[in-house]
Structures are given as C-alpha cells and as structure tokens.
Chain A
C-alpha cells in the first residue's frame, strides 16, 4: 500500500519531467519504438535479425517486387503487388517468369526504379563476379528464395527471372528481396578507397548502410550504430494511401524485456515490442494499450522419424497432441499471450485445408491411444526433447517445456529435456536427428516462421529436405507429402496453388507430423496517444497509418 503512495508522487514527478520535454521540441510527431533486437537490424537492404529486421529496416525503407497486405487485423495477411504490378510464368518453360514493374517510382536519392535496378539487386546476392556482390547479404537472402538463379532485363519496365526448377512459390519468396538504389551505391563505390574491387565494394556497402536509399515509405535520416535509427516520412511515396501520417520514427534496440518496459513506463519510448509478461498488469494499470494478434509462427516439437524413434507410431504422435491443455498454458503461464496451435495454420487461413484429425485437449482419448500403443501408468514411454533456454521466437522455452513435461506425464510419457545453448540448438536443427549432436533426443523444439510455403511446410515435410539439405530434422519420408509438395510447386494458378498447399497442410495435421503447441501473438504495448495502429496476422506491421497525438 505504501508503495502505491510513493508511486503516485513519483509518477507525478515523472509526468512533470516528461511533459516539460516535448514543450521545448517542435510540433513534430515522433514514434519512438523499443525493439527486441540487440542491435539495429542491418540497414543496407537485406536486414539481419530475422523477420524483426524486415519489419523495421526492410519494409520501412524498402519495397520488394511483391508485398504483404498488412491492412487487416482479421484476415490472414495475403501477398499483393509491390514494385511489380503483375507477373506470369512462361507457359512453355515453367522456370521463366516475367515481371511487369511499377512505373513512376523513384528511390530516395531521386534515381528511377527500373528493370536495371531489379537485375542489379538480384545480382547483389546471386552473381559472385558482380561488383555489388556482397557475401554478408547472401545468407539471409538466398536461403529465402532457394530456387531463384538469375534475372534479365527485357525492357525498361519488364524483367525475366529464372528459377532452378519450376517453382510456383517464387512470387511469395520475392517479398524478401528488397530493392536498394544502384545509383546511390555506385556513388559510394566510385568514392570508395580500397586495394581491390572487393575491398571497394565492401566499403561502398558500409557507406550505403549509413546513408541508405530505397523506395519505401520511410527515409533514413540519422543512424547511430547499435543505439538508434531515425527514419522520416517519404512524402513522395508512390502509394499515396501509405504516405506516413507521423513525421518521424526512432528505432531503439532494447533486448531486455525489463529495459523496454521501463522505457515505456518512463516515457522514453511510446511503443515497445514484447513487453515483459509479468509487467503487463502494471502496464495496463498505468493506461498503456496492449496489442496482439496471431502470428504466422509455430512453437512445436518436431519429431524424429528415424528407425527406433517412439514417434514412428502415429498413435503416440496423436496422443501427445491430444494430451496438452493449450488454453491452460496460455492463461497460466503466458498471461494470455499465445494462440493454441491446432496445426501450422489455423482455420480461416487459405492454406489450412480441412484436416480430419482435430487437435484439442482430450486426455481420455490420448490415454486410450497410448494404451493401444502398449503404454500405461506402469509402462511409461521415455522421450527426449532438445531445446534451449532462450532464443528468438522461442517464447518461454523452459517453462513451456516443463509445462508439457507435466501434462504429458498424465498420458504415460516420461519427458526428458536436453537443454542446450540457442545457437547450438539452431545448428543442430540443421544436422538432423541422426547426428551425434542430437544426443539421443527424438524431438527438437525450434520455433519456425510460417510466412511462405517453403518455410512453413516444404522444408520439414519433403523427404529431399532431410539434412544436410534443409530442416527436415526428423527425416520425414512420406511419399504422400512428397507428391503434394511437387503438385503445389507446379501449380501456377494462385487459387489452385493455395488449394494444393491446403491439401498438403491437412495431410501433415492428419499425420500429426508435429506436436503443435502455440502460435506467438507478437505482443506490443503503446502509449494511449498512438492511434490508427492495426496489428495484422503477420510478422510485419504497417507504420504508415499510425498517428501520435500531441
């Protein structure tokens, strides 16, 4: 009680200090955002720090040929035209695509966006002898468009892209290739000093990162590495409806949940990503507004299907899925900040399909399945799960796994946790269940983003994606999956492609290919002065319609 009183006086004092400050500044409206990243994501076009990077330094300053529709909080976010207005696969050769570009678009430095710029940007990551080739951007880019091999200019406003094999996912993948200004880069390159072309190119990219130029709705205005990035609105943005309604956006890296929360409460920022869950009551009580929405993200156990794995019995896989009280997990541990997962995609998503296996909490059914599989109270099934104590997207890995451990014990599972460091876990994920690094575990707990079909489904389900090729950690080898992947990849009419993907997803749920547990909800807390914000079902958000009341 005494605390409340001191808090009140202190708040008045803080309020006085906080209000004294903006009075001096001009009437400029500023969004100050505390990000969860430990560093400002890279600003040179291809951000690092995963999709948080794309959210803050990708989609703000840059555009891609295709983009996400971020305007609705209810519908699943769909792909829409961006810098390309239309595209089509070649009827005769399904590895060739023709993209028509949007006319009248200019980069922040005033140079025009055209076919040459597209070719230049494809080659910055794919053509090793191009002067602008930058190895540091390759990793985050090439892996998100695994089939793209080259680009060719047809005319000023038309380009042709070529893939290794027919791939209907290409337009979706291209949301990750951001268009940086070749003219601006060339200026830096010409000025750069360096022993050879490679050194000059590196210097030019370093300079470009400090003074970047894209076509996006926000322009870079000042940059203090590791501390602060300031963006100002781009009045000349090509989509007039998306010209920002706020003058300025300041991005501050704040990796500690407490630091972010403190910064919000003290008025240092007016928007924080992922506030500390335990501080939510305090945040609400002080009048701040919380936003959250289901994200294309899955928190799963990925099963090993190698010989001898207990998960090879579909009854065991189904039993585990039925034994978890996901609502209890949401309300008890996560302060409401998760959506129970009943698959990779939830009902309403175009790729959901209609699985016959209903994932829900049904302990008796789970126990029955386990008994049929030969287990019971006196004969428990030992399973070992490799997980980490922290990590991007992992939510609260240890508490959540301990919750599963307790829940599954009721269904005759004896769950053992193998807790390792996040980076190591991430590396092991690639090495697969047969590698010694799996340390005898038969499931791995690495969360994944489910934005596009390759990342959400193909890399886990197709037999050819088994290590070392990609993330089919458990060596899933199901001819039905392989056939459905092939079908989806080679169906180029968008609606039919979505139907094929839905069929693949339904098959994976019916097979209980994962232990589906939760979707993250990307919680963020904001000052009540911030209006007009819509949180879509996406990793990304649109900052353009946001206003800040004085």
Chain B
C-alpha cells in the first residue's frame, strides 16, 4: 500500500502546486474512517508478511483428532478447520496468497491499462480505434463471467487466476486512462509544452502522465475490493488456488462441509475477505474526496 502511495506522490503533476498533495495528505490523515481502515489494512498486511515470525501453529499440519474445534477452544483461539489445522495460522498465512491474488491483478492492469490508454488517448487516430474497439469487445462480457470463463478455460491455479483477473481489469483501466488522456491532451498546458518544442515522448511522460495518473489511481484502488472478492470467488468455485495452500476463498469452499458442525469457524475466511474489501473501498472513497478540490 505504502509503495503505491509513494509512486502516486512522486508522479504528482508538475503543473499543480506542490501544496496540492500536501493538502490531500493532510485531509486524508484527518479522516478518521480512512485512517482506521489504513490501520486495519496495515495490520493485515504486516501479519501476513511477518507470519513466520509470529510463533503461529503450522498452517499445513493437520490432525485427525482435533478437527473442527470451536472458536475459543483452548490452544486454538479461532478453532480448527476440517483437517484439524489451526484457523488463526491459516487465516494469517492465507492473507499472503489472498492479498497477492487480489491485488497483483490490479497493479498489473494498472500498468498495462494506463500504458494502453495513454497511447490511445495521446496518439489518437487509427491506433486509438484499434485499441478502444478491442477493449469494447471485452466490455461486452460481464466481469464475473469473463473472469470465470478465462479461468475455466485456463484451468485452476494461482497464476491462471491472476492472468484472468488482469485481463478483466485491463479494459476498464484502459477506458478510464484513455478518456482522461484525451481530456488532458487538449488542455492549454500541453499545447504550451508542444509549442515550446517538447517531443511527444517528453510531453507524455512529464505532463500527461502526472495529470492522468491521479484519477486512474483512484479508480484502481476502487478495483482492489472487486478484485479481492473475485479472486476469492474463483478459489471458492475451485478455479483458483489449489489445496492445501491456505487462501481465504478456498478455505471458505472447503469449510462449507462444516457448516452443520461448526458454522462460525466456516464463516471466518469470508469475514477476512469482507474486512479487506470494505477497508479498500472506504480508503478509496476517502482518497477521492480528499483529492476533490471543490470540497
């Protein structure tokens, strides 16, 4: 998360005053909801990252005698799953894959989609038509259907679900990037740069990228929540991560057999997906309103 924010900050538009970003930062730090969400996310990220050093139980080690312990059972604060594996450890370790599979597609789509959109918007003409009509074809599929169709075709697996989600998000980001670029291209400062003899590459890099990245970035953070839900959904259907890897969607799937015995343990992985997803949404909302100068 922090890496992404830094990137966005560095890309701050040269035409806007340095003060703009400090205003945005000040506003967002004052927003209690955003800060609470950021805190929760940092907590989840840090625990996933530092899982091996947290003295947790082995997330893979099962035992037939301690299957499906209830929440709060001695030694198992969050109970055990259908194979007797410690739920706390699996939820924390599960964050690793779940977050990667949820977030990486958005980052990849952000890079690819922004490049495509920038080129289409700046160059225009036939290239724009070619890129945008291709994007339209993918827009003709509802995103869940597209993700499932691609994953179904490629087969189950982590890499395949990252690929399929990236394919789902690239057209969306491309469209946003293209429309923002087209809008910015015709603005005065670009004309001025062009008049002062700057090459198209320099213009695109320095001026347009800066003014375009902000809106795309906000849009992309909003996608993370969708991506988390979809990625876990693919695993839930059996099209994502394969057992015995801990991953929230897959855990939700395999624990479904336990809803008669231990319903609330079975519901835990979904609660994690929900927590991450709602935090990203709230944070994205907070960022949007912090960046909205009119307020």
List residues of chain A with CB under 8 Å of any chain B CB: 256-258, 261, 276-279, 281-282, 328, 332-333, 389-390, 398-399, 402-403, 419, 421
Q: Judge whether A421 and B260 touch: CB under 8 Å.
A: no
Chain A: which residue is nearest B82 at the CB level? Answer: A278
A282: which of B68, B238, B257, B261 is its contact (CB, 8 Å)? B261
In the complex, A276 Cα to B244 Cα: how many Å?
20
Question: Is B192 in the interface zone, CB < 8 Å from A?
Answer: no
User: Which chain A positions have C-beta within 8 A of B242?
Assistant: 389, 419
In the complex, A258 Cα to B83 Cα: how many Å?
17
Question: Is B62 in the interface zone, CB < 8 Å from A?
Answer: yes
Question: Is B64 in the interface zone, CB < 8 Å from A?
Answer: yes
Q: Judge whether B64 and A257 touch: CB under 8 Å.
A: no
Can you show 29 pairs from A to B with CB atoms below 8 A apart?
Answer: A256-B256, A258-B256, A258-B259, A258-B260, A261-B260, A276-B260, A277-B257, A278-B82, A278-B257, A278-B258, A278-B260, A278-B261, A279-B260, A279-B261, A328-B64, A332-B64, A332-B65, A333-B64, A389-B242, A389-B243, A390-B238, A398-B83, A398-B243, A399-B82, A399-B83, A402-B62, A403-B64, A419-B242, A419-B244
Q: Judge whether B261 and A402 touch: CB under 8 Å.
A: no
Q: A281-B261, A403-B64 are in contact. List 6 more A-B contacts (CB 8 A).
A: A332-B64, A333-B64, A399-B64, A399-B83, A402-B62, A421-B156
Interface centre among B156, B257, B259 (most CB of A within 10 A): B257
List residues of chain B with CB under 8 Å of any chain A CB: 62, 64-65, 68, 82-83, 155-156, 238, 242-244, 256-261
How many Å from the CB of B244 to the closest CB on chain A?
Answer: 6
In the complex, A399 Cα to B62 Cα: how many Å?
9
User: Which chain A positions have C-beta within 8 A of B259?
Assistant: 258
In the complex, A279 Cα to B263 Cα: how many Å?
11
User: Which chain A positions have C-beta within 8 A of B261?
Assistant: 278-279, 281-282
When A and B form their complex, which 7 residue pairs have the shortest distance between CB atoms, in order from nearest?
A332-B64, A279-B260, A278-B261, A333-B64, A389-B243, A282-B260, A276-B257
Interface centre among B68, B155, B260, B261 (most CB of A within 10 A): B260
Please count the residue pairs between chain A and chain B whose beta carbons lie under 8 angstroms apart in the complex.
44
Interface centre among B64, B258, B261 (most CB of A within 10 A): B64
User: Which chain A positions have C-beta within 8 A of B65?
Assistant: 332
User: Which chain B positions have C-beta within 8 A of A419?
Assistant: 242-244
B68: which of A256, A278, A398, A403 is its contact (CB, 8 Å)? A278
User: Which chain A positions have C-beta within 8 A of B64?
Assistant: 328, 332-333, 399, 403
User: Which chain B positions have C-beta within 8 A of A257?
Assistant: 257
Give the dominant DSSP class at B's interface: loop
In the complex, A61 Cα to B212 Cα: how many Å?
68
Q: Judge whether A421 and B155 touch: CB under 8 Å.
A: yes
In the complex, A281 Cα to B156 Cα: how many Å?
34
Interface centre among A276, A278, A279, A390 (most CB of B within 10 A): A278
User: Which chain A positions have C-beta within 8 A of B244?
Assistant: 398, 402, 419
How many Å from the CB of B250 to the closest CB on chain A?
Answer: 10
How many Å from the CB of B262 to the closest CB on chain A?
Answer: 8
In the complex, A112 Cα to B246 Cα: how many Å?
60
Chain B: which residue is nearest A423 at the CB level? Answer: B155
How many Å from the CB of B10 to the closest CB on chain A?
Answer: 43
User: Which chain A positions have C-beta within 8 A of B260?
Assistant: 258, 261, 276, 278-279, 282
How many Å from the CB of A33 to the closest CB on chain B?
Answer: 20
In the complex, A419 Cα to B261 Cα: how many Å?
27
In the complex, A458 Cα to B83 Cα: how many Å?
36
How many Å from the CB of B63 to the closest CB on chain A?
Answer: 9
User: Which chain A positions have C-beta within 8 A of B243?
Assistant: 389, 398, 419
In the complex, A261 Cα to B259 Cα: how many Å?
11
In the complex, A333 Cα to B238 Cα: how many Å?
23
User: Which chain A positions have C-beta within 8 A of B82?
Assistant: 278, 399
User: Which chain A positions have C-beta within 8 A of B257?
Assistant: 257-258, 276-278
Chain B: which residue is nearest A331 at the CB level? Answer: B64
User: Which chain B positions have C-beta within 8 A of A279?
Assistant: 260-261
How many Å from the CB of B87 to the closest CB on chain A?
Answer: 15
How many Å from the CB of A143 to the closest CB on chain B?
Answer: 25
In the complex, A406 Cα to B259 Cα: how many Å?
27
User: Which chain B positions have C-beta within 8 A of A390?
Assistant: 238
In the complex, A332 Cα to B65 Cα: how many Å?
6
User: Which chain B positions have C-beta within 8 A of A421?
Assistant: 155-156
How many Å from the CB of B204 to the closest CB on chain A?
Answer: 44
Chain B: which residue is nearest A403 at the CB level? Answer: B64
In the complex, A403 Cα to B260 Cα: how many Å?
24
User: Which chain A positions have C-beta within 8 A of B83?
Assistant: 398-399, 402
How many Å from the CB of B206 to the closest CB on chain A?
Answer: 49
How many Å from the CB of B57 to the closest CB on chain A?
Answer: 16
Chain A: which residue is nearest B259 at the CB level? Answer: A258
How many Å from the CB of B260 to the closest CB on chain A?
Answer: 4
In the complex, A191 Cα to B131 Cα: how many Å?
51
How many Å from the CB of B268 to the closest CB on chain A?
Answer: 16
User: Which chain B positions have C-beta within 8 A of A256?
Assistant: 256
User: Which chain B positions have C-beta within 8 A of A333?
Assistant: 64
User: Which chain B positions have C-beta within 8 A of A277?
Assistant: 257
